[in-house]
Chains A and B, each alone.
Chain A
Amino acid sequence: MAGLSFDLIALQLFAGLALGAIYVLFAIGLSLIFGMLTVVNFAHGAFYMVGAYVGLYLISIGGNFWICLVAVPIAIGLFGLAVERVLIRPLYGRGIDYPLLLTFGLSYVMVECVRIAFGKTGYPFDTPEVLQGAVDIGVGYFPLYRLFVIGATAVVLLALWLFLEKTSFGLIIRAGARDPQIVRVLGVDVSRVWLIVFGIGTAIAGFAGLLAAPLQGVIPEMGGTILAEAFVVTVVGGMGSIGGAVLAGLLVGVVVSMTSLFAPEMAKVSIFALMAIVLIVRPQGFFGRAGLMS
């Protein structure tokens, strides 16, 4: 193929990693919530979308991108706490489908509220000035903002890992994922742990939405598309596995960006083909426990 040099492929690989970083953040929140609460959060895409809109609003009233990076996850996380407390908690113990259905209904409400507040059409989202332009990464010039997305994702992952592995609260969370019954017997208020996990998961979703906004702009429907793709990531990586979500998220990002280089019309379909292959070869996903899925 003429014009397809090694450098071009390497650059596309990096672009795929940046895209994959968004998937990773999104899927990690989904996976964390599922692993702990066994709730599939169908409103995760809506939290992601609201995160982008909150960022847009903060900037329009004079804030800057750096303030947003802190304020958006806090705002979305608090909102997530309220949702868990008021809407999801009554459904525990009533079958696994009900929280899913409820969050699906919630996503309708959230999307429509954003349409009422901001209108049906999308907005562009400016890349912060410091992060505009491109830098030489050895194989060619790469947009600085995409590099920032990869870096920010790495920071969030590291913080999450430290929190889960090195703090006593993280220990409770991991224990609760294994066996909530025993944790409760040991005197831990599990419902409070679940509340906080839901808050963390949604906060990361809001953060992901903010990071994605300068890449794609913001529209009320942006959450729905990524939700279906994040399901692919969780199925490929193994549901409930954080390591699986990271690996599969990056893989899906790279697959999308590589197919858009070689066969652009197949870019959207390729990730579903990937999921089909994984389902046939290894139904539990990369890091999923065998038997959990089939």
Chain B
Amino acid sequence: MTETTQSIKQPRATTGGWYEFATRHRASIVAAVILIFPLVMPFTALAVNILIYGLYALGFNLVFGYLGLLSFGHAALFGTGAYLCGIAIVHFGWPWYAAIAAGIAGGLLMALLIGVLAIRTRGIYFAMVTMALSQCVYYLFYQAVDLTGGENGLRGINVRTIDLFGLRIDFINPMIRYYVIAAFVIAAFFVMSRILASPFGAVIEAVRENEMRARASGYDVTLTRLLTFVLSGGFCGLAGALQALHLSIVPIEILHYETSGLVVMIALLGGMGTFFGPMVGAAVFLVLENIVSVWTVHWQLIVGAIFIACVLFFPAGIWGTLIARGKR
């Protein structure tokens, strides 16, 4: 399985040595980078954020980069994961691992609901319908005050320690917290790598490259799209659940369409349809946001301008551009 659209068209033998190596061991490389990552970051909270948004972008990239559908409603998947994880802990007193499972299930289920409707449309309409439906989810969670806390957000998700095989791990310590979350993110990257390398992963890209031909080859295009969207929901749901555990609160803004737009920016910045792109994008975006927000409160102005420049001049994103250079 190769990484980008361009690489499919090229014969495999021409790809460079480091690139070949990186593709084969992509999940292990991500794992290694994630493990040493907090040591080079200025503070751990930022590193945790990058992990979570990187995972969120990874799930989004499955639909945007690999399937070729632009979704503007991924906040609903991310947010539902966070809310269900939080609700499981706050209202039902579930243990942390069950709450994470609830978050993943929430992401999958919400993706199924939105997917069934949105998959009926195509191309540009997909972006509009997913955005509208996620706005609907926003209002629903906003109004279910008893469960979600409404405008104030869901408070009181206090997970202080994590019990694992008799071991009691302190979840308050930022470094330990980072590695606990990192374990989940690394696992997700391995699963994603496996999905993309499977025959099903090839079908996903076939649908993006040529829908008619995929259909003629006997693949159910609609079902592939729906299944991919639902899988994406699982990854985003996990990211949301981890976000809920990390923040101890689920703000209602997590469902706002700006959260959907954020992941679009991250994926495009990093390089859509590349394996490392989402992580690179999340790291660059959040570090940038951190630097700019120290300097001015109007960081959205800078971020928007950089994004415009990206669309105009670097549509392949940071990682996508690097790959194109490396293969020359």
Contact = CB atoms under 8 A, between A and B. Distances in A.
B121 A272 contact: no
Interface stretch (B134-142, B202-210, B235-243, B275-283): B134-142
Given A40-B127, A100-B124, A269-B140, A105 B304 contact: yes
A101 B312 CA distance: 10
Contacts of B301: 108-109, 112-113, 116
B35 interface: no
Contacts of A112: 298, 300-301, 304
A79 to B, nearest CB: 15
Contact of A97 (B70, B140, B304, B308): B70
Contacts of A239: 124-125
A180 B121 CA distance: 24
Contact of B308 (A105, A231, A275, A283): A105
Nearest to A239: B125
Contacts of A91: 311-312
A96 B139 contact: no
- Consensus secondary structure, chain B interface: helix
A115 interface: yes
Counting chain A residues whose Cβ lies within 8 A of the other chain, the interface size class is 35 or more
Contact of B70 (A100, A268, A273): A100
Contacts of B258: 224
B323 interface: no
Given A105-B308, A105-B311, A280-B120, A235 B70 contact: no
A205 interface: no
A239 B257 CA distance: 21
Contacts of A38: 124
Nearest to B119: A294
B123 interface: yes
B261 interface: yes
Nearest to B142: A268
Interface string A262-294: 000100110011011001100100000000011
Interface string B99-141: 0000000000000000001101111110111011101100110
Contacts of B268: 101
Nearest to A266: B143
A272 B142 CA distance: 15
A274 to B, nearest CB: 10
B190 interface: no
A58 to B, nearest CB: 24
A224 B259 CA distance: 13
B181 interface: no
Contacts of A90: 312
A55 B143 CA distance: 33
Contact of A294 (B121, B127, B136, B308): B121
Contacts of B139: 268-269, 272
Contact of B132 (A96, A98, A113, A275): A275
Given A224-B257, A272-B132, A102 B117 contact: no
A109 B312 CA distance: 15
B303 A108 contact: yes
A279 to B, nearest CB: 5
Nearest to A34: B124
B264 interface: yes
B311 A272 contact: no
Contacts of A192: none
Given A108-B301, A272-B133, A234 B128 contact: yes
Given A40-B127, A294-B122, 20 more contacts: A87-B312, A91-B311, A98-B315, A101-B268, A102-B312, A106-B308, A108-B307, A109-B300, A109-B308, A111-B300, A224-B258, A228-B132, A231-B128, A235-B128, A268-B139, A272-B133, A275-B129, A275-B133, A276-B117, A279-B118
